[in-house]
Structure 1
Protein backbone atom coordinates (compact mmCIF):
# COMPACT_ATOMS: atom_id res chain seq x y z
CA UNK A 1 0.00 0.00 0.00
CA UNK A 2 2.98 2.31 0.57
CA UNK A 3 3.95 2.31 -3.11
CA UNK A 4 0.32 2.93 -4.09
CA UNK A 5 0.03 5.89 -1.70
CA UNK A 6 3.38 7.34 -2.78
CA UNK A 7 2.50 6.96 -6.46
CA UNK A 8 -0.85 8.72 -6.06
CA UNK A 9 0.85 11.51 -4.09
CA UNK A 10 3.45 11.98 -6.85
CA UNK A 11 0.79 12.03 -9.57
CA UNK A 12 -1.49 14.46 -7.72
CA UNK A 13 1.45 16.72 -6.84
CA UNK A 14 2.48 16.80 -10.50
CA UNK A 15 -1.01 17.89 -11.52
CA UNK A 16 -1.06 20.66 -8.89
CA UNK A 17 2.48 21.85 -9.61
CA UNK A 18 2.05 21.76 -13.39
CA UNK A 19 -0.46 24.63 -13.23
CA UNK A 20 2.43 27.06 -12.71
CA UNK A 21 3.47 26.54 -16.35
CA UNK A 22 0.11 27.73 -17.66
CA UNK A 23 -0.81 31.36 -18.12
CA UNK A 24 -4.25 32.85 -18.59
CA UNK A 25 -3.47 34.37 -21.99
CA UNK A 26 -2.40 31.02 -23.46
CA UNK A 27 -5.40 29.26 -21.97
CA UNK A 28 -7.80 31.90 -23.34
CA UNK A 29 -6.22 31.75 -26.80
CA UNK A 30 -6.39 27.93 -26.79
CA UNK A 31 -10.11 28.07 -25.92
CA UNK A 32 -10.80 30.91 -28.38
CA UNK A 33 -9.37 28.89 -31.27
CA UNK A 34 -11.29 25.78 -30.25
CA UNK A 35 -14.58 27.67 -30.00
CA UNK A 36 -14.00 29.49 -33.29
CA UNK A 37 -13.13 26.42 -35.33
CA UNK A 38 -15.54 24.82 -37.74
CA UNK A 39 -14.08 21.39 -37.05
CA UNK A 40 -11.64 20.28 -34.36
CA UNK A 41 -9.22 17.47 -35.15
CA UNK A 42 -7.23 15.65 -32.48
CA UNK A 43 -4.08 13.57 -32.76
CA UNK A 44 -1.85 11.65 -30.38
CA UNK A 45 -0.20 8.26 -30.29
CA UNK A 46 -0.01 5.64 -27.57
CA UNK A 47 -1.70 6.76 -24.36
CA UNK A 48 -1.76 10.33 -25.72
CA UNK A 49 -4.19 9.03 -28.35
CA UNK A 50 -6.55 8.03 -25.53
CA UNK A 51 -6.14 11.53 -24.06
CA UNK A 52 -7.01 12.97 -27.49
CA UNK A 53 -10.05 10.71 -27.86
CA UNK A 54 -11.27 11.60 -24.37
CA UNK A 55 -10.97 15.31 -25.16
CA UNK A 56 -12.72 14.76 -28.51
CA UNK A 57 -15.63 13.11 -26.73
CA UNK A 58 -15.89 15.96 -24.23
CA UNK A 59 -15.81 18.54 -27.04
CA UNK A 60 -18.58 16.64 -28.83
CA UNK A 61 -20.65 16.61 -25.64
CA UNK A 62 -20.59 20.42 -25.52
CA UNK A 63 -21.72 20.63 -29.13
CA UNK A 64 -18.47 21.04 -31.05
CA UNK A 65 -17.68 19.09 -34.21
CA UNK A 66 -14.67 16.84 -33.59
CA UNK A 67 -12.68 14.21 -35.44
CA UNK A 68 -9.77 12.01 -34.43
CA UNK A 69 -6.99 11.89 -37.01
CA UNK A 70 -6.68 8.45 -38.57
CA UNK A 71 -10.26 7.36 -38.12
CA UNK A 72 -12.00 6.32 -41.32
CA UNK A 73 -14.83 8.88 -41.14
CA UNK A 74 -12.58 11.94 -40.70
CA UNK A 75 -13.03 14.60 -43.37
CA UNK A 76 -10.09 16.64 -44.65
CA UNK A 77 -8.87 19.50 -42.51
CA UNK A 78 -9.23 23.05 -43.85
CA UNK A 79 -8.42 26.65 -43.00
CA UNK A 80 -11.43 27.11 -40.72
CA UNK A 81 -10.42 24.15 -38.58
CA UNK A 82 -7.88 23.41 -35.87
CA UNK A 83 -5.78 20.46 -34.86
CA UNK A 84 -5.03 19.64 -31.22
CA UNK A 85 -1.70 17.78 -31.24
CA UNK A 86 -0.86 15.89 -28.04
CA UNK A 87 2.70 14.65 -27.48
CA UNK A 88 4.62 14.58 -24.20
CA UNK A 89 7.99 14.78 -25.94
CA UNK A 90 6.71 17.07 -28.68
CA UNK A 91 8.62 15.11 -31.26
CA UNK A 92 6.49 12.10 -32.10
CA UNK A 93 6.78 11.83 -35.89
CA UNK A 94 3.10 11.02 -36.50
CA UNK A 95 1.89 13.94 -34.38
CA UNK A 96 4.43 16.39 -35.84
CA UNK A 97 3.59 15.27 -39.39
CA UNK A 98 -0.14 15.75 -38.78
CA UNK A 99 0.55 19.22 -37.36
CA UNK A 100 2.65 20.21 -40.37
CA UNK A 101 -0.02 18.99 -42.78
CA UNK A 102 -2.74 20.84 -40.88
CA UNK A 103 -0.64 24.01 -40.91
CA UNK A 104 0.03 23.68 -44.66
CA UNK A 105 -3.75 23.48 -45.23
CA UNK A 106 -4.29 26.73 -43.31
CA UNK A 107 -5.63 25.21 -40.08
CA UNK A 108 -4.61 26.40 -36.63
CA UNK A 109 -2.47 24.03 -34.57
CA UNK A 110 -2.80 23.74 -30.80
CA UNK A 111 -0.05 21.76 -29.06
CA UNK A 112 -0.21 20.01 -25.71
CA UNK A 113 3.32 19.00 -24.70
CA UNK A 114 5.90 19.00 -21.92
CA UNK A 115 8.42 20.57 -24.27
CA UNK A 116 7.24 23.82 -25.89
CA UNK A 117 10.59 24.25 -27.67
CA UNK A 118 10.11 20.91 -29.46
CA UNK A 119 9.11 20.31 -33.08
CA UNK A 120 5.40 20.38 -32.18
CA UNK A 121 5.88 23.61 -30.24
CA UNK A 122 7.60 25.23 -33.20
CA UNK A 123 4.78 24.43 -35.66
CA UNK A 124 1.90 25.29 -33.31
CA UNK A 125 -0.04 28.53 -33.07
CA UNK A 126 -0.61 28.02 -29.34
CA UNK A 127 1.28 25.67 -27.04
CA UNK A 128 -0.11 24.52 -23.73
CA UNK A 129 2.80 23.34 -21.62
CA UNK A 130 1.85 20.37 -19.49
CA UNK A 131 4.76 19.31 -17.33
CA UNK A 132 5.11 15.63 -16.63
CA UNK A 133 7.82 13.04 -16.71
CA UNK A 134 8.05 11.35 -20.05
CA UNK A 135 9.83 8.27 -21.34
CA UNK A 136 13.19 9.90 -22.10
CA UNK A 137 13.70 10.86 -18.44
CA UNK A 138 13.91 7.25 -17.25
CA UNK A 139 16.75 6.68 -19.68
CA UNK A 140 18.75 9.87 -19.08
CA UNK A 141 21.77 8.29 -17.37
CA UNK A 142 20.85 9.59 -13.91
CA UNK A 143 18.77 6.60 -12.82
CA UNK A 144 21.29 5.40 -10.21
CA UNK A 145 21.79 8.89 -8.76
CA UNK A 146 18.03 9.36 -8.38
CA UNK A 147 17.66 6.00 -6.64
CA UNK A 148 20.49 6.75 -4.19
CA UNK A 149 18.72 9.99 -3.26
CA UNK A 150 15.42 8.16 -2.89
CA UNK A 151 13.76 9.64 -5.98
CA UNK A 152 12.05 6.62 -7.51
CA UNK A 153 10.74 7.90 -10.79
CA UNK A 154 9.11 4.53 -11.46
CA UNK A 155 6.19 5.76 -9.34
CA UNK A 156 5.03 7.51 -12.52
CA UNK A 157 6.03 5.07 -15.26
CA UNK A 158 6.82 6.33 -18.73
CA UNK A 159 4.43 9.16 -19.68
CA UNK A 160 1.89 8.70 -16.89
CA UNK A 161 2.45 12.11 -15.28
CA UNK A 162 2.09 13.92 -18.63
CA UNK A 163 -0.93 11.95 -19.77
CA UNK A 164 -2.89 12.24 -16.54
CA UNK A 165 -2.06 15.93 -16.16
CA UNK A 166 -3.03 16.59 -19.79
CA UNK A 167 -6.35 14.78 -19.25
CA UNK A 168 -7.12 16.85 -16.15
CA UNK A 169 -6.12 20.12 -17.84
CA UNK A 170 -8.18 19.39 -20.95
CA UNK A 171 -11.20 18.51 -18.79
CA UNK A 172 -10.74 21.82 -16.96
CA UNK A 173 -10.76 23.56 -20.35
CA UNK A 174 -14.10 21.87 -21.08
CA UNK A 175 -15.48 23.33 -17.84
CA UNK A 176 -14.34 26.81 -18.84
CA UNK A 177 -15.69 26.44 -22.36
CA UNK A 178 -19.06 25.24 -21.06
CA UNK A 179 -19.29 28.46 -19.07
CA UNK A 180 -18.23 30.55 -22.07
CA UNK A 181 -20.85 29.02 -24.37
CA UNK A 182 -23.40 28.70 -21.55
CA UNK A 183 -24.00 25.07 -22.31
CA UNK A 184 -26.69 23.63 -20.01
CA UNK A 185 -24.89 20.30 -19.44
Structure 2
Protein backbone atom coordinates (compact mmCIF):
# COMPACT_ATOMS: atom_id res chain seq x y z
CA UNK A 1 0.00 0.00 0.00
CA UNK A 2 1.20 3.54 -0.73
CA UNK A 3 1.37 6.32 1.84
CA UNK A 4 -1.77 8.08 0.58
CA UNK A 5 -3.67 4.78 0.59
CA UNK A 6 -2.67 4.25 4.22
CA UNK A 7 -3.89 7.74 5.06
CA UNK A 8 -7.19 7.04 3.32
CA UNK A 9 -7.65 3.83 5.32
CA UNK A 10 -6.86 5.69 8.57
CA UNK A 11 -9.58 8.25 7.77
CA UNK A 12 -12.05 5.40 7.15
CA UNK A 13 -11.14 3.86 10.52
CA UNK A 14 -11.63 7.22 12.24
CA UNK A 15 -15.05 7.66 10.62
CA UNK A 16 -16.14 4.18 11.75
CA UNK A 17 -14.96 4.84 15.30
CA UNK A 18 -16.45 8.31 15.70
CA UNK A 19 -19.77 7.16 14.23
CA UNK A 20 -20.10 4.72 17.17
CA UNK A 21 -19.71 7.34 19.94
CA UNK A 22 -22.93 7.85 21.90
CA UNK A 23 -24.15 11.40 21.32
CA UNK A 24 -25.89 11.56 24.71
CA UNK A 25 -22.60 10.76 26.49
CA UNK A 26 -20.81 13.49 24.51
CA UNK A 27 -23.55 15.99 25.35
CA UNK A 28 -23.33 15.10 29.05
CA UNK A 29 -19.61 15.89 28.91
CA UNK A 30 -20.30 19.25 27.26
CA UNK A 31 -22.78 20.08 30.04
CA UNK A 32 -20.37 18.97 32.77
CA UNK A 33 -17.66 21.21 31.35
CA UNK A 34 -20.03 24.20 31.23
CA UNK A 35 -21.18 23.55 34.83
CA UNK A 36 -17.66 23.21 36.25
CA UNK A 37 -15.65 25.96 37.88
CA UNK A 38 -12.32 24.55 36.67
CA UNK A 39 -11.55 21.75 34.21
CA UNK A 40 -8.53 19.48 34.60
CA UNK A 41 -7.47 17.12 31.82
CA UNK A 42 -5.05 14.19 32.03
CA UNK A 43 -3.70 11.38 29.92
CA UNK A 44 -0.50 9.38 29.68
CA UNK A 45 1.75 9.06 26.65
CA UNK A 46 0.16 10.10 23.37
CA UNK A 47 -3.23 10.43 25.08
CA UNK A 48 -1.52 13.05 27.26
CA UNK A 49 -0.58 15.02 24.15
CA UNK A 50 -4.24 14.97 23.10
CA UNK A 51 -5.18 16.21 26.58
CA UNK A 52 -2.81 19.16 26.26
CA UNK A 53 -4.26 20.17 22.90
CA UNK A 54 -7.77 19.99 24.38
CA UNK A 55 -6.83 22.16 27.37
CA UNK A 56 -5.28 24.71 25.01
CA UNK A 57 -8.58 25.10 23.17
CA UNK A 58 -10.56 25.26 26.43
CA UNK A 59 -8.23 28.08 27.52
CA UNK A 60 -8.74 29.83 24.16
CA UNK A 61 -12.46 29.77 24.97
CA UNK A 62 -11.81 31.54 28.28
CA UNK A 63 -12.45 28.51 30.50
CA UNK A 64 -10.29 27.79 33.53
CA UNK A 65 -8.64 24.65 32.20
CA UNK A 66 -5.45 22.91 33.26
CA UNK A 67 -3.21 20.02 32.33
CA UNK A 68 -2.69 17.82 35.37
CA UNK A 69 0.96 17.70 36.43
CA UNK A 70 2.06 21.11 35.16
CA UNK A 71 3.73 23.40 37.69
CA UNK A 72 1.02 26.07 37.28
CA UNK A 73 -1.90 23.67 37.82
CA UNK A 74 -3.98 24.63 40.89
CA UNK A 75 -5.72 22.27 43.30
CA UNK A 76 -8.93 20.53 42.31
CA UNK A 77 -12.11 21.18 44.32
CA UNK A 78 -15.66 19.85 44.54
CA UNK A 79 -16.99 22.22 41.85
CA UNK A 80 -14.35 21.07 39.36
CA UNK A 81 -14.14 18.40 36.67
CA UNK A 82 -11.30 15.99 35.92
CA UNK A 83 -11.36 14.55 32.39
CA UNK A 84 -9.11 11.55 31.80
CA UNK A 85 -8.29 10.14 28.37
CA UNK A 86 -7.18 6.52 28.73
CA UNK A 87 -7.60 3.76 26.18
CA UNK A 88 -7.39 0.94 28.71
CA UNK A 89 -8.78 2.84 31.67
CA UNK A 90 -6.21 0.98 33.76
CA UNK A 91 -3.16 3.27 33.73
CA UNK A 92 -2.05 3.23 37.38
CA UNK A 93 -1.07 6.89 37.64
CA UNK A 94 -4.37 7.99 36.10
CA UNK A 95 -6.38 5.64 38.32
CA UNK A 96 -4.64 7.12 41.39
CA UNK A 97 -5.46 10.59 40.10
CA UNK A 98 -9.13 9.64 39.70
CA UNK A 99 -9.20 8.22 43.25
CA UNK A 100 -7.70 11.45 44.61
CA UNK A 101 -10.18 13.63 42.68
CA UNK A 102 -13.06 11.46 43.93
CA UNK A 103 -11.84 11.82 47.53
CA UNK A 104 -11.99 15.61 47.06
CA UNK A 105 -15.57 15.39 45.69
CA UNK A 106 -14.61 16.57 42.20
CA UNK A 107 -16.49 15.21 39.20
CA UNK A 108 -14.67 12.73 36.99
CA UNK A 109 -15.19 11.92 33.32
CA UNK A 110 -13.22 9.38 31.33
CA UNK A 111 -12.95 8.96 27.58
CA UNK A 112 -11.91 5.35 27.07
CA UNK A 113 -12.21 2.13 25.12
CA UNK A 114 -13.21 0.39 28.36
CA UNK A 115 -15.96 2.08 30.42
CA UNK A 116 -15.96 -0.94 32.79
CA UNK A 117 -12.30 -0.34 33.66
CA UNK A 118 -10.93 0.84 37.00
CA UNK A 119 -11.05 4.50 35.93
CA UNK A 120 -14.45 4.00 34.31
CA UNK A 121 -15.89 2.70 37.57
CA UNK A 122 -14.46 5.67 39.49
CA UNK A 123 -15.96 8.13 37.02
CA UNK A 124 -19.26 9.97 37.10
CA UNK A 125 -19.32 9.85 33.30
CA UNK A 126 -17.65 7.37 30.96
CA UNK A 127 -17.60 8.07 27.23
CA UNK A 128 -16.74 5.05 25.12
CA UNK A 129 -14.50 5.54 22.11
CA UNK A 130 -14.81 2.18 20.37
CA UNK A 131 -11.29 1.55 19.12
CA UNK A 132 -8.93 -1.39 19.24
CA UNK A 133 -6.95 -1.64 22.47
CA UNK A 134 -3.19 -2.04 22.34
CA UNK A 135 -1.67 -5.29 21.12
CA UNK A 136 -2.53 -8.53 22.86
CA UNK A 137 -6.20 -7.74 23.38
CA UNK A 138 -9.07 -9.14 21.32
CA UNK A 139 -11.40 -6.55 19.87
CA UNK A 140 -14.28 -6.17 17.44
CA UNK A 141 -12.60 -3.00 16.14
CA UNK A 142 -9.86 -3.71 13.62
CA UNK A 143 -7.19 -1.28 12.57
CA UNK A 144 -4.17 -1.26 10.32
CA UNK A 145 -2.48 1.15 12.73
CA UNK A 146 0.06 0.26 15.39
CA UNK A 147 -0.62 0.13 19.11
CA UNK A 148 -3.12 2.73 20.37
CA UNK A 149 -3.02 5.07 17.37
CA UNK A 150 -6.69 4.69 16.47
CA UNK A 151 -7.78 5.54 20.03
CA UNK A 152 -5.39 8.50 20.29
CA UNK A 153 -6.47 9.97 16.96
CA UNK A 154 -10.13 9.41 17.78
CA UNK A 155 -9.56 11.10 21.15
CA UNK A 156 -8.21 14.21 19.45
CA UNK A 157 -11.16 14.30 17.02
CA UNK A 158 -13.60 13.79 19.89
CA UNK A 159 -12.00 16.57 21.94
CA UNK A 160 -12.13 18.92 18.92
CA UNK A 161 -15.80 18.08 18.39
CA UNK A 162 -16.46 18.89 22.07
CA UNK A 163 -14.75 22.25 21.52
CA UNK A 164 -17.02 23.00 18.55
CA UNK A 165 -20.10 22.11 20.62
CA UNK A 166 -18.88 24.30 23.50
CA UNK A 167 -18.27 27.17 21.08
CA UNK A 168 -21.81 26.76 19.78
CA UNK A 169 -23.24 26.69 23.32
CA UNK A 170 -21.29 29.80 24.34
CA UNK A 171 -21.81 31.67 21.07
CA UNK A 172 -18.08 31.90 20.34
CA UNK A 173 -16.34 32.18 17.00
CA UNK A 174 -12.77 31.28 16.18
CA UNK A 175 -11.80 34.94 15.72
CA UNK A 176 -12.69 35.75 19.32
CA UNK A 177 -10.58 32.85 20.52
CA UNK A 178 -7.49 34.17 18.70
CA UNK A 179 -7.40 36.98 21.25
CA UNK A 180 -6.35 34.41 23.86
CA UNK A 181 -3.77 32.70 21.63
CA UNK A 182 -0.14 32.77 22.79
CA UNK A 183 1.63 35.91 21.58
CA UNK A 184 5.13 35.35 22.97
CA UNK A 185 6.07 32.73 20.41
- TM-score (norm. length: structure 1): 0.86
Deviations 1:120-151, CA, capped at 9 Å, x for gaps = 1111111111122232xx23499xxxxxxxxx
Q: Does 1:119 align with 2:136?
A: no
| C-alpha deviation, 1:107, in angstroms | 0.7
Which of 148, 152, 159 is 2:148 aligned to?
A: 159
Q: Extract unaligned runs of 5+ from structure 2.
A: 175-185
Instruction: Give aligned pairs, total.
Output: 172
Residues 22 and 128, structure 2, Cα contact 8 Å, conserved in 1:
no
Assess, with a 3 A threshold, how the Cα gap between structure 1 residues 116 and 6 changes in structure 2: closer, same or farther: farther
Which of 145, 156, 159 is 1:170 aligned to?
A: 159
Deviations 1:2-49, CA, capped at 9 Å, x for gaps = 242343233212221123432222111110011111110011110011
Q: Does 1:85 align with 2:84?
A: yes
Q: Which has the higher helix share?
A: 1
Residues 134 and 160, structure 1, Cα contact 8 Å, conserved in 2:
no
Assess, with a 3 A threshold, how the Cα gap between structure 1 residues 98 and 8 changes in structure 2: closer, same or farther: same
Residues 133 and 156, structure 1, Cα contact 8 Å, conserved in 2:
no
Following the alignment from structure 2 to structure 1, what is the Cα–Cα distance between the partners of residues 136 and 2? Answer: 21
Residues 62 and 183, structure 1, Cα contact 8 Å, conserved in 2:
yes
Residues 33 and 82, structure 1, Cα contact 8 Å, conserved in 2:
yes
2:173 maps to which residue? Answer: 184
Q: Does 1:71 align with 2:74?
A: no
Assess, with a 3 A threshold, how the Cα gap between structure 1 residues 9 and 38 changes in structure 2: closer, same or farther: same
For the aligned residues, what is the CA RMSD? 1.9
| C-alpha deviation, 1:85, in angstroms | 0.5
